[in-house]
Structure 1
Amino acid sequence: MNLPLHKSIVAVGSAGLLALTLAGCGASEKSGAGSAKAGAGALECRDGRILVGVAKAESGFASFFDIAGRRGLEVAVDEINDSGGVKGCRLELQARDTKSDPAVGAQVAKALVDAGAQILVVADDFDTGVAAAKVGQSAGVLTLSLAASSTVFGKAVGDLFFSGGITTTELGRAQARYALDQDWKSTFQVIDTGLAYFTEQDEQFRALYEPTGGKIGKVEKVDSLGGQADFSAVISSIKAAKPDVVQALAVYPAVGTFVKQLRAAGVDTPVVGNITLQTKELPGLVGKSAADRIYYAAQIYFEGTGTDPAIDKFVQAYQAKFGQFPEQANAPGAYQTFMAINQALQQDKVVDARTAADTIRGQTALPVPGGTLSQWKDGYAIWDPAVIGLEAGAWSVKKTYQAKNLLGE
């Protein structure tokens, strides 16, 4: 049956936050220590719904990524509800703004759990989402970060937490493997060390790149989180170093500004990076003529032509709902991950956070729209990464790697 979608905006006075309530999917998780209040982890239908609380940034530096992820979740929820919900019960979302502040995120998470959230969805980043995720774990609610990539997230939170983004391991190693495949043996690294997302990729890049003939000649630290906008000194160093490739590990839009200034300075050296470069806005920022020789590791290809039909359908639904093309990779990533979670929630044996978590952990070689989930490990998802190229203003998949091969399994 088709389930109606309702949407309303509600001001939350004392918290000074905005709550966005939508028909959506929800689930909850239960504390491994058994400290949850009674019923907190139950996934039964309450008043005709399962409530999913969303504690993500609608403002601040992380909002570009979190809004895309929240919207991807909404598309997944619509699709699930249109197909009958979770075992006949519609999913409903309630979202509140964490303002890109981890402390505010924890407050928002508590407010959502207290309001009856049965599943908690937190920010798509370890640094901004971990405090909120710990609130969900302690309350015994199934807690998710649908597009986070950190491999330490789950270990830091607990056994009722899952992060669904392609991991920093696959991202870092795919960049290294592609650079080696292109015979790019010298790398100049530009990195914002303020996020574990980038430092973890750096570690994995080095682990594969350096023992197999690659050399990182110089490292320049930048402050993309702080809004750095002038990269002239870094670019002067790149010109002097003459590397085979530049690795850019920084948040958008600063990473795009860096590439723009690099190309404007006459440097056409290939740039390799991750999904912070994966946005259809990039050519507009750097200039179409400068949108060339840019390569990044990613979970899903959605921004160019020749995409998977299931992702085409997602993009069409996204555009119909939000009036724009998915602005960033967290949108299809969150959609894809929640569709995997939904397959667990639909099983009769899943009645609470504990049984949901056990079922999710058992998923292997799971087909989902636009791809296959290889497995879950230590609370994080493992996907086969693709390297996408932006050349002469057009996107294409350059190479897809099997995660097990990158990991030497």
Structure 2
Amino acid sequence: MQFNTKLIPFAIALAFAGSAGAQDIIKIGHVAPVSGPSSHLGKDNENGANMAIADLNAKGIKINGKPVKFVVQLEDDGGDPKQGTTVAQKLVDAHVQGVVGHLNSGTTIPASKIYMDAGIPQISPAATSPDYTKQGFKTAFRVVANDNKLGGTLGQYAVQKLGAKKIAVIDDRTAYGQGVAGEFVKGAKKASPGVQVVAKEFTTDKATDFNAILTSIKAKNPDLIFFGGMDSVGGPLLRQMKALGIKAKYMGGDGLCTDALPRLAGDAAANGVVTCAEAGGVTADLQKNMDDFRARYKKQFNQEVQLYAPYVYDAVMVMAQAMIEAKSSDPAKYLPYLANIKYQGVTGPISFDSKGDIKDGTLTLFTYTDGKKTKMEVVK
């Protein structure tokens, strides 16, 4: 076999030129339900991840002196635990260096075991069930307050500020829905041992007809109904409450507390009827950062932030910062830096306790006025 020796120097030159401009690829997985009833929230999360990846690459980041390029592998878990574990294994097989997700507690918790077994750090931007971090997995983190705080705070608020004495509780049987509803009841009873829970009912996260549940509840004449679940169910439920003439106040956690709720509930989300809490939120001194993020988001995607996009954005940034500090994108090497991170995000300061929960997590209480989600106060 003969070689064309004239081509060899040219080939070598090309090889060197290619290697000189080469970048290490860092792959971060992102999982959210972009199909199913919560797809609007899942897409919101994806948008937040894409913004963060674009911003990281625009900065020309180097890790241990070498240029890197961040890419995101987007996966859909449909809000289904089985699908969640399937895509988790897919990300492990793709050798991602970290995962941001999932959105729902019911998918986050089973997926977390797969990431833990593979040694891949996971930051959930939205899952609030305490069970996620109670497992003791060193790879599991979250950037929002958990249901112990969220549900408990809402329970206290229902009794102390809204004067609730007779409460009905409905949950969607998901890990999130049951968890936040349970903590709500604990918080209400702690605030006032004499408060009556006159009904405990449940539905599903895909239900559309609540007539039987609400007819039973109406007979017990509660002055407040708490729903543990997402807006895709909670909105139509509120609409049917009004149709049945139920005049109780309505309350829920962050899954209910979205800009889409008035659209889903129609005029049933009238002024002052709904009180909800979002896991997270910024105090006045940090509001400009959040406002700037929301303005950039709207300009890029031509829509408002739905709920969790800023937390997804911060979760990606926190993961990247840990890699920078560790001088490595190897999960085993940057994981200890992630556990000890101190990062100022658009959602506020981020650091984690020994379980992986965010330290000093905030909550924001909202109501709805003239069809718009309206902030009431930020609670630490």
Match of 1:58 in 2: 34
Structure 1: distance between partners of 2:351 and 2:96 = 29
CA-CA distance at 1:307 after TM superposition: 9.3
Match of 1:379 in 2: 356
Change (3 A) 1:106 1:286: closer
Whichever residue aligns with residue 198 of structure 2, its letter is: K
Q: Which entry has the higher C-alpha Rg, 1 or 2?
A: 2
Match of 2:183 in 1: 204
Change (3 A) 1:187 1:342: farther
Match of 1:84 in 2: 60
Match of 2:378 in 1: 400
Map 1:253-332 → 2, pairs under 5 A:
253-288=232-267, 290-292=269-271, 293-300=273-280, 308-326=287-305, 328-332=306-310
1:70 is matched with which residue: 46, 59, 64?
Answer: 46
Structure 2: distance between partners of 1:131 and 1:395 = 32
Match of 2:19 in 1: none
Deviations 1:320-378 (A, max 9, x none): 3333222x3122232233334444333145553234332232246x5321323364341
Structure 1: distance between partners of 2:104 and 2:363 = 18
Match of 1:178 in 2: 157
Matched, 1:118 2:97: yes
Total equivalences in the alignment: 352
1:49 is matched with which residue: 15, 19, 25?
Answer: 25
Deviations 1:282-336 (A, max 9, x none): 222222474322111113459xxx992222222233233333222x312223223
CA contact (8 A) 2:27 2:97 kept: yes
CA contact (8 A) 1:186 1:216 kept: yes
CA contact (8 A) 1:54 1:121 kept: yes
CA-CA distance at 1:172 after TM superposition: 0.5
CA contact (8 A) 2:35 2:76 kept: yes
Match of 1:236 in 2: 215
3-state SS of paired residue (1:133): helix
Whichever residue aligns with residue 224 of structure 1, its letter is: T
Change (3 A) 1:176 1:363: farther
CA contact (8 A) 1:58 1:66 kept: yes
Change (3 A) 1:384 1:97: closer
3-state SS of paired residue (1:66): helix
Unaligned runs of 5+ in 2: 1-21
CA-CA distance at 1:196 after TM superposition: 1.7
Match of 1:141 in 2: 120
Matched, 1:370 2:356: no
TM-score normalised over the length of structure 2 = 0.81
1:109 is matched with which residue: 80, 88, 103?
Answer: 88
CA contact (8 A) 2:366 2:376 kept: yes
Whichever residue aligns with residue 331 of structure 2, its letter is: A
Structure 1: distance between partners of 2:250 and 2:36 = 27
Change (3 A) 1:152 1:72: same
Match of 1:16 in 2: none
CA-CA distance at 1:201 after TM superposition: 1.8
Q: Indicate the RMSD between aligned Cα atoms, in angstroms.
A: 2.9
Whichever residue aligns with residue 135 of structure 1, its letter is: I
CA contact (8 A) 1:165 1:334 kept: no
Greater percentage in helix: 2
Structure 2: distance between partners of 1:378 and 1:221 = 32
CA-CA distance at 1:256 after TM superposition: 0.3
TM-score normalised over the length of structure 1 = 0.76
Structure 2: distance between partners of 1:58 and 1:289 = 27
Deviations 1:183-216 (A, max 9, x none): 5232423322521212222332233321331524
CA contact (8 A) 2:238 2:268 kept: no
CA-CA distance at 1:122 after TM superposition: 3.6
Match of 1:219 in 2: 199
Structure 2: distance between partners of 1:262 and 1:255 = 10
Structure 1: distance between partners of 2:225 and 2:355 = 32
3-state SS of paired residue (2:148): helix
Structure 1: distance between partners of 2:113 and 2:121 = 11
Structure 1: distance between partners of 2:255 and 2:81 = 20
Deviations 1:108-130 (A, max 9, x none): 22332222311123422232233
CA-CA distance at 1:147 after TM superposition: 1.6
